Amino acid sequence: MSEIDIRRGHSLTLPKAREAAEKVARQLKQEFALQYRWEGTSLHFTRAGVDGKLMVNTSEVHLRAKLGLLLAFLKPQIERKVHEHLEARDDQARSLTYTIPEGVPFPVTGYRATMVVSDDGGRGRLSWTCQFEPDGVSEAEASGAIQQMYGVMIGWISDLIARES
């Protein structure tokens, strides 16, 4: 059985940290039929192939999960997703900033990105910018890899909007 054990610091109050964990749990329940329950400040979750808990306190969250045989091969992708970190969100400015401190899917370190949605003559405009340090490749190669992935992700967003329109 494969295990995930990740600790992440935060600066939220305990009620806000618990609220954020609850929101993620609801999304996971909807997307992956994950069942969860609270016991004090620990959120226990389960579904076929995964069993774990997210412990929340005033300074960090601690995720521990056991992956069954069928999900064990997805451990790197699951850990990468967990490591994405929301730094700031401003609903009024329609912006969010996030970092991926570990397991960045590009040849870079120090990855930090900001997404801003603005009005462009009655249409929405998404600006997606990032800062990074190339890791083992030239800046042009790192930029090219990121631009290619952004193009794919913006294409997914466009397709989703077109389906919902």
135 and 124, same structural domain?
A: yes
91 and 30, same structural domain?
A: no
Answering whether pTM is above 0.95, one says no
Task: Determine the average pLDDT of the residues in 107-128.
Answer: 88
Task: Determine the average pLDDT of the residues in 110-122.
Answer: 88
110 and 93, same structural domain?
A: yes
104 and 76, same structural domain?
A: no
Q: What is the CATH classification number for the domain harbouring 12? A: 3.30.310
> Does residue 110 surpass a pLDDT of 90?
no
Query: Domain span at residue 8?
Result: 2-83
Task: Determine the average pLDDT of the residues in 103-128.
Answer: 85
Which residues are within 8 A (CB) of 102 and not within 5 positions of it... i.e. 6 or more apart? 79, 80, 83
Q: Which of residues 47 and 8 earns the better pLDDT score?
A: 47
98 and 76, same structural domain?
A: no
102 and 52, same structural domain?
A: no
* Residue 86: band (very low, low, confident or very high) from pLDDT cuts 50, 70, 90: low
Nearest to 49 by CA among 76, 30, 17, 73: 73
Number of domains present in the structure of the chain:
2
What integer pLDDT is reported at residue 83 of this predicted model?
59
DSSP one-letter code for 58: S
Tens digits of residue pLDDT in 45-62: 998 888 999 999 988 888
What integer pLDDT is reported at residue 55 of this predicted model?
93
What integer pLDDT is reported at residue 116 of this predicted model?
92
Q: What is the CATH classification number for the domain harbouring 146? A: 3.30.530.20
Domain boundary residue among 83, 114, 135?
83
122 and 65, same structural domain?
A: no
As beta bridge partners, residue 51 has: 46, 66
Domain boundary residue among 67, 83, 99?
83
90 and 28, same structural domain?
A: no
